[in-house]
Structure formats: C-alpha cells, structure tokens
Structure 1
Amino acid sequence: MYRNFYPHQYSYGTYQNPLASTRADILLDESDTVDSEPEDLGDGFYLYHWNVAFPANAHETYFLRANNQKVISGGWAPGGYWSSTIFENYPKDKYHWVISIRNSGGRDRDLNLYLITKE
C-alpha cells in the first residue's frame, strides 16, 4: 500500500549552544542613559533610552530605574540580525522594570533598552 514510504534514517543530535559561564545582573538608572535628558512625552510621561554592549552567548538581566518615577512600560531592540531570546519583561515594583535576555548569536551586539515612566 505504501510502496514509496521510506522511514527516516537521520538524527538531530544532542548539541546545545552553551550559555556563557557568567550571568550578569545590571542596574541602569537615569545617569546611564544615551540622552542627557529623558524625552518628555507630555502629561507627566517620560521616555528613557539606554544603549548597552551585549556579549555573545550571554544571559543578562537589566534592572531599569529612572528618578524614582513610576514605571509604565519597558522594551528592548537588539542590533543586528542574530538570534536572541527574551526571558522576562515585567515591572518588578513601581520603580523598577526588569528585562532578562539571552544573546544566542555568536557575536557581540548592541542592545537598546527603553523605559516609559510617569511622575
């Protein structure tokens, strides 16, 4: 009935791309931003922007904070076209935003982090 059926004779293997031996927890505040002043979005909202170097095969957790203003939202934009995985992106408390990400590409890259706050 299935004369043209051939069972597969291959294996996917067990290789996994290893994480870097260190994991970094990095606190970024308003003094580390790209711009000297945050962008005023109006009605008490502000946009903060960080640009950080992101090592190859590293897993880093960033804690974003800005002038004891309440966090509304946070985001990230990796540079380049290599693979990366976001693990966490959430408000830790009303003054800190957490972004945990892994650069699974084999190259260092830039990482842009964003934080929207309200006075």
Structure 2
Amino acid sequence: MKHPQKINSLEALNNAHSLAIAPFLFQASSCLLKFEILSFLEDSGKNGASLASIVEHTKLTEYAVETLLQIALALNLVEQKEENYYLAKTGWFLLNDPLVKVNFAFTRDVCYRGLENLDKSFLEQRPAGLG
C-alpha cells in the first residue's frame, strides 16, 4: 500500500536536506546552550544583545559566535533586529521547557554516540554502542 504524498517536491527536498544536516544543527544547538548564548539573550530581554556583548559574555571568537548565531537564526532559536539578537520562541522552549530540556539532555548525553550503531542494534537485536 502506497502512502499518499502530502507535501510537494520542494518541501520533500527541503526535508531531505534537513535530515542530511540534522546532526550539525543538534550539535550547534548544544553549543548555544553550553556557551549560554540563549540564556544570555533571555536575560537581555527586550533590549536584546549585540554581537560584541555576546562575544564578551562567552569569551568565544567573533567568528564562533557569528557562526552559532547564523545557525540559531536558521533554526528560529533567535531573532535579529538591526544589530541586536533576541531569544525567539523556539529558543525559549529549548531553554526553559522541562520536557524539551530532558529530551535534549537525554539525546545529547545518552543516545547521540550510540546512534552511530543503530544499524548494529537492529541486526544484533540489542542496544549496541551504549557500552
């Protein structure tokens, strides 16, 4: 039985590209949390924060912060208005929602490394790669 396609070809292509880069997006999101960029933006509130203030806060290079912010913009974790950055709704949930926090931490701390062996787990019918 064939499933009817509910999306057009361009959406399907976009989904395929998203899958191809998903690990990078997850890891960059993890860095945004680790380097406290999202929490800094939350604390900055309605004033937002400039690139320079984020660099000063994180002690990362301007290049590193810009790269993370570009990814955060693409993921709708942050918004940019003129020269300042602000925490977006998706970023707020990543930072504050208890279930999202638990799921993210579980994926990062328990599952991520083991996922490399998912094929082995299916073949061997055991949780390979978690030991």
State the TM-score, normalizing by the size of structure 1.
0.23
Larger Rg: 1
Richer in strand (by share): 1
Query: Which has a greater percent of helix?
Result: 2
Instruction: Give the TM-score, by structure 2 length.
Output: 0.22
